[in-house]
Amino acid sequence: MPGIATLLDRIPDQGGIVHPLLAFALALLLHLAAAGIARVLAPRLQAHSTILGDSFRVRLRAMLRYALSALLIGIAVAFWPYVSVGHLVLGIGLGLSVALLASHALRTLAIPRWAVLPLTLLLFLSIVSSTSGGLAPVGAMLDTVGISLGKRRITLLGLLSIAATCVALFALVRLANRLISRSIGQTQGFDPTQKLLAQKLAAIAVIVAAFFIGVDLLGIDLTAFAVFSGALGLAVGFGLQKTFGNLIAGIILLMDRSIKPGDVIVVGDSFGWVNKIGVRAVSVITRDGKEHLIPNENLMTQEVENWSYSDRNVRIRIPIGISFDADLHLAQRLMLQAATESPRVLRTPAPNVWLTGFGESRVDHDILVWISDPEGGVGNVKSDVLGRLWLLFRDHGIAIPYPQRVVHMAPAPDAATTPFGA
């Protein structure tokens, strides 16, 4: 602008290096000012950015620094004389700030580095070229490099545009999914299952919307793929029917709420609690720490035991036997005492003892106890009750019998009385 141009005219540019150094110093000063402002504002903004996740809060200060730096340097670029080396220096500073801002933003969304680096490099070159008046020649040069396939020509500019559009849409999808997921998660009117269903449906809607937006931005004519889409639909019908079956089964599971995250279920040989319900499979964590991925369709077609479907209380049966010579009533009182003293056993419903039968060498009983946290396992409850009962039986003289067998030895026959004794 005239003001800065007049000021620069008063400063002698000896050797053509003074004005570029001034532009470099100005860019550095503006960047340091942006860093100081970001240091003050970042802690205040971090408190209000919980919806975007921890990774966003960690990189918030750097993103704010480069955003302010790009804004301040961009203003300086607008006021600096256009055709000059100093303008190019400021353009390089602006390109670096924007590229670093984009890099941190994409890494916050978990975009892989191999996709971030080319995009930020392309963004840097585009900004530097535009600030120096060379964007149109660069675009024309990239458009001349390409090959012809039938009636269609594929150029380097088109490939770069497709790559940049795909990465940008992927980043927007990740950001939208994160915002929607956390917004639904903080909603008070839904239970966990309804929140999970809403998150899955919203994620599918965002992906479909991004697909059609990308098709529109890239100018792809879908009518040219009519035959291909028919073949693809046939292939999906035969080859991917299990995948789509699992997807629909997962949505149905979330809708009818027969299985929810946190439920304790038994499917075949897998026993554990549901960690999450995914698009393809349900994650079940066992007591051994193993995570079983069970296809959603299996939960729709197989018999499933849900220990916490309508009530989390589960009754455990603990068999025990005592000697026939033991005091029956005392032994039963000790069984109830051991069950009542176990910390995970509920007081209501109260533990109970059943006499179930008379065995060959013992009187059989079942100790019946209730727990409300089946995800904590049942084997440790049995172990605790039996350990306490062992000590009580020993202190009160109640014997747990060993299996016994009585063998009668018949006398040997007299050799003189046998028919062939001689």
CATH for 382: 3.30.70.100
The CATH code of the domain that includes 271 is 2.30.30.60
* Residue 23, in any domain of the structure: yes
* Residue 194, in any domain of the structure: no
Nearest CA-CA partner of 386 in 355, 329, 358, 345 = 345
pLDDT digits (tens, 9 = 90+) for 65-75: 888 998 998 88
Ramachandran assignment for 181, one of left (phi > 0), alpha (psi -120 to 50 degrees), beta (any other): alpha
Q: State how far the Cα of 132 lies from the Cα of 90, in Å rounded to an integer.
A: 10
pTM of this structure: 0.48
Residue 420: pLDDT over 60: no
Residues 6+ apart with CB under 8 A from 54: none
Q: Are residues 301 and 318 in the same domain?
A: no
8 A C-beta contact, residue 104 and residue 61? no
Task: Report which residue type is found at 353.
Answer: V
Q: Are residues 23 and 81 in the same domain?
A: yes
* Residue 255, in any domain of the structure: yes
Q: Are residues 21 and 57 in the same domain?
A: yes
Q: Are residues 302 and 318 in the same domain?
A: no
* Residue 278, in any domain of the structure: yes
8 A C-beta contact, residue 205 and residue 251? no
Query: How does residue 387 score in pLDDT terms, banded at 50, 70 and 90?
Result: very high
Q: What is the mean pLDDT of residues 381-386?
A: 93
Residue 247: pLDDT over 50: yes
* Residue 188, in any domain of the structure: no
pLDDT digits (tens, 9 = 90+) for 110-165: 777 777 777 787 778 777 777 666 555 555 656 666 676 666 667 766 777 777 77
Q: Are residues 285 and 323 in the same domain?
A: no
Residue 422: pLDDT over 50: no
Segment (H or E) for 184 = helix 156-185
For residue 195, what pLDDT is reported? Answer: 76
Q: Are residues 261 and 389 in the same domain?
A: no
Q: Are residues 80 and 99 in the same domain?
A: yes
* Residue 66, in any domain of the structure: yes
* Residue 129, in any domain of the structure: yes
pLDDT digits (tens, 9 = 90+) for 295-347: 888 888 888 888 877 777 889 999 999 988 889 999 999 999 999 999 999 99
Domain boundary among 306, 325, 349: 306
Q: Are residues 255 and 375 in the same domain?
A: no
CA–centroid distance for 16 within its chain: 56
Q: Are residues 266 and 382 in the same domain?
A: no
Q: 22-26, 169-173, 228-232, 397-401: lowest mean pLDDT where?
A: 228-232
Nearest CA-CA partner of 67 in 91, 112, 37 = 37
Quote the domain boundaries for residue 377: 314-396
Summary mean pLDDT of the chain: 78
For residue 1, what pLDDT is reported? Answer: 45
Domain boundary among 267, 289, 306: 306
Q: State how far the Cα of 113 lies from the Cα of 115, in Å rounded to an integer.
A: 5
pLDDT digits (tens, 9 = 90+) for 263-297: 888 887 778 888 888 777 888 888 778 888 888 88
Q: What b/e string do you get for 103-117 counting C-beta neighbours within 10 Å, with b at 16 or more?
A: bbbbbbbebeeeebe
Query: How does residue 15 score in pLDDT terms, banded at 50, 70 and 90?
Result: very low
* Residue 237, in any domain of the structure: no
Which comes out higher in pLDDT, residue 169 or 351? 351
Total domains in the fold of the chain: 3
DSSP state of 13: -
Q: State how far the Cα of 274 lies from the Cα of 306, in Å rounded to an integer.
A: 10
Residues 6+ apart with CB under 8 A from 176: 206
